[in-house]
Amino acid sequence: MTSYVVDPADRVAGEITVPGDKSVSHRAVMFGALAQGRTHVTGFLEGEDCLSTMKAVAHLGVHVERPGPGEVIVEGVGLHGLRAPTAPLDMGNAGTAMRLFMGLLSAQPFDSELIGDASLMRRPMERVAKPLRAMGASLETRDGKPPVRIHGGQQLQGIRYEMPVASAQVKSAVLLAGLYATGETTVVEPGVTRDHTERMLQSFGCEVRARDGVVALAAPKSLQASNIRVPGDISSAAFFLVAACLGAREPFTIRDVGVNPTRTGILEMLALMGADLRLVNHRNFGREPVADIEVRPSRLKGARIPERLVPLAIDEFPALFVAAACAEGETLVTGAAELRVKESDRIAAMARGFELLGVQHEALADGMRIVGGNPFRGGTIDSRGDHRIAMAFAVASLRATAPIEILDVANVSTSFPGFAALANSVGLNVEERG
């Protein structure tokens, strides 16, 4: 089993870039496969999750090349050019990939099956399957979890789907199915979620209407190839944002970060806690807004996190919880029940780690109450194979009095290849073992 041993650190310094955005990378390859022509992707995240998507489209008959680091060329086959796979499509640990492929494959003329690693095979899929079945798709799960078996050849009908819980993955799956449906497909969101699907579909020539939480499209005749430049992933940047808040003695800069307004909840939450964050050098990578983020020395204080921000930062909460444990006073997070069905039950995983490291806290059904201000003691943390839990507790070393050992960290490579080396380059002391 691979583990991290993280010795206490007292400062971070420097200027970094983080790997490409995972959500954008998934979609760039998937939409490129459905387009007519050659799609050139730069800044592609070469983590295991996105490589699973790339391998899946190859098994569906799409030619994919990797001419250089972070570079992918997809020879699109058009909306109706995919071929039946000869074996189940293995999504590895990629929940996003599985859920988006459920929507895409529901409309194909052939049968298919989606599987994943042990963690992914425990994650819920019925919330995606339900609206797809309402469109006419035929999908089977095992007690609501993978494997997902999809029976092709169904004629899908556009629907108006009012999501009971905000989820970009559910929304995206329905919209992907809508590319093939008769009539208009509409998704009504109870709260704002990341809109990379809508933006990228527009980049590929599909007309998408999005306003006031309502997203609609009609099946296009075709998608056209596009060049996609992937921004740095704000979910990966979050760990270094927190690290800089805790350990910077001078301005710390993260360059080329995607600052899509549906993803910047972590910036707003840290600002509420007193972080000194500045966005500079604003520009666009295609339809995605990008900026450099400067972090100045900050003294964090506890805060009540508004529930409206939760969907805008759902992947960043492990990092935020560490920030809260280091802040003066109490931080309260509610409305985040979605954290219980991620790669791990992230509320439970963080609570177990806090208990071992001496952080006063209360795990709630939909969040956590954290009383911060005291240093972490050392100890051994089981990340439960969850990459974001592992990276969060690595950052905790900036306020630790003894080494922290973090078990089962191999899945860090799913979203952040090279994390340990980059962390060490700015002042952390992360030793990878196993």
Q: List active site positions.
A: 315
Q: Comparing C-alpha atoms, which of 299, 295, 312 is closest to residue 260?
A: 312
Question: Across the chain, which distance is largest between two alpha carbons, in Å?
Answer: 61
Distances 389 to 155, 220, 350, 352, 394 between C-alpha atoms, Å: 42, 40, 7, 11, 9
- The 10 Å CB-count burial string (b at 16+, else e) for 313-343 is bbbbbbbbbbbbbbbeebbebbbbebbeebb
Which residues, other chains included, contact 130 with Cβ-Cβ below 8 Å and sequence gap of 6+? none
The backbone torsions φ and ψ at residue 162, rounded to the nearest 5 degrees and listed phi first, read -95, 105
Task: Tell me how crowded residue 353 is: count the other CB atoms within 10 A of its CB.
Answer: 28
Nearest to 164 by CA among 346, 338, 343: 338
Q: How far apart are CA 33 and CA 49, in angstroms?
A: 17
351 vs 19: CA distance, rounded Å? 28
Query: Is 59:89 a contact under the CB 8 Å cutoff?
Result: yes
Total number of residues shown for the chain: 434
Alpha-carbon distance of 201 to 217, in angstroms, equals: 10
